[in-house]
Amino acid sequence: MPARQYWLMKSEPEECSIDTLAQSVSQCLPWTGVRNYQARNFMRDAMQVGDGVLFYHSSCPQPGVAGLAEVASAAYLDATQFDPASPYFDARSQREAPRWLHVDVRFVRKTRLLGLAEMRAQPGLAGMTLLRPGNRLSITPVTPAEWQLILELLERT
DNA sequence: GCCAACGTTGGC
DNA sequence: GCCAACGTTGGC
């Protein structure tokens, strides 16, 4: 069994916040809407059930880590790609060769908001993929050391 | 609303 | 397969 891995997953809280996840049925939601191949490949090729997830609020007044979650399924078909009414509809994706997949993500707990500026101020997080200039990936890997440090930071008030 | 960064598209 | 144009992301 492979070692547990860690990820940071961005979500716009207006669409799906850590509270949305906490209040959903069985506190578990399909991570629909990923339309970037690199992010998809992380879900398809690397994620394992039980991997740790930092739930990150993006494109909002206070961007930052807002809670913890975990990967709850293997990657499977993202049905929104075939739904013309969905904002995630992809006319180029074909039924016989679907482009987009997603995993399910399960709520673990809410945390204090660990803001971007605070993360940038941490020498131990300087190498984080999230913090790289111009990074736009909605799913990024987190190293065990980064995960450990972030958990410690989340315990501080 | 601005703008930098970067992924994707499509002509050649 | 190159690369310019374009669209999107996301912090500020």
At A53, which CATH number?
Answer: 3.10.590.10
How confident is residue A91, by pLDDT bands cut at 50, 70 and 90?
Answer: confident
Give the closest residue to B5 (Cα–C1′): A134
- Say if residues A103 and A43 touch (Cβ distance below 8 Å): yes
Place of tokens 């007044």: A61
Q: Is A105 exposed, middle or buried (0-12, 13-18, 19+ CB in 10 A)?
A: buried
Dihedral pair phi/psi, residue A74, rounded to 5°: -75, 170
In a domain, A71, yes or no: yes
Residue A65, domain extent: 6-155
How confident is residue A1, by pLDDT bands cut at 50, 70 and 90?
Answer: low
Please state the pTM of the whole predicted model.
Answer: 0.93
* Strand C surroundings (CB within 7 A): A 10, 12, 35, 58-60, 63, 116-117, 136-138
- Say if residues A25 and A35 touch (Cβ distance below 8 Å): no
Q: Is A99 exposed, middle or buried (0-12, 13-18, 19+ CB in 10 A)?
A: middle
How confident is residue A96, by pLDDT bands cut at 50, 70 and 90?
Answer: confident
Interval A31-41 mean pLDDT: 93
In a domain, A1, yes or no: no
DSSP E strand stretches across chain A: 6-11, 28-30, 52-57, 64-71, 76-77, 101-102, 104-115, 139-142
Query: How many structural domains is chain A composed of?
Result: 1
Dihedral pair phi/psi, residue A114, rounded to 5°: -95, 100
In a domain, A69, yes or no: yes
Query: Between the CA of A127 and the C1' of B4, what is the distance in angstroms?
Result: 20
Looking across all nucleic acid strands, the nucleotide with the smallest C1' to CA distance from residue A38 is B7
Listed as ranges, the nucleotides of chain C within 7 A of a protein C-beta are 8-12
How do A101-102 and A76-77 pair as beta strands?
antiparallel
